[in-house]
Amino acid sequence: MRLIARFEDKQPVGFLIDTLRNGGFDRKDMVVSSLNDADEQDPQDPVELAGDIAFIKTEREGLWESGPFAEGVKGLTPGKRGIIVAVETPKHEADRVRSMMKESGALEIIQD
């Protein structure tokens, strides 16, 4: 199961990541991505994207398809700005992770 939280800026994101790590979650179970470029980004050649520092693989079907991580998140309010944090969690931990996200100041939380 995956929970996704949207934040307005990066300070609460850092707090959430620290809280999750202190709660026993590994950083490899989290994806952090900006929404600010999602509407403005044009599809590019994956070879060019591979040179970008913050290239994040999306969950698209095609080998040569690429795009912002947020495009693959169903239920995310369109047109919103900020930063999203996606966390892979077992079902029995979902309520605890959701609480951590709320306490960190998440503006919206989506179960994907």
Query: Any idea which of 27-31, 62-66, 82-86, 101-105 has the lowest mean pLDDT?
Result: 62-66
55-80 residue pLDDT tens:
444 455 555 555 566 666 777 777 77
Q: Give the model's pLDDT for residue 71.
A: 66
How would you label 76-106 residue by residue, b for 16+ Cβ within 10 Å and e otherwise?
A: beeebebbbbbbbbeeebeeebbebbeebeb
Pairwise CA distance, residues 18 & 97, whole Å: 12
Burial class (CB in 10 A: 0-12, 13-18, 19+), 40: exposed
pTM, entire model: 0.71
The reported pLDDT for the residue numbered 109 is: 95
Class of domain 2-111: alpha beta
Confidence grade of residue 33 (pLDDT, cut at 50, 70, 90): confident
Confidence of residue 41 (pLDDT cuts 50, 70, 90): very low
Average pLDDT, the chain: 78
All structural domains of the chain with their residue ranges: 2-111
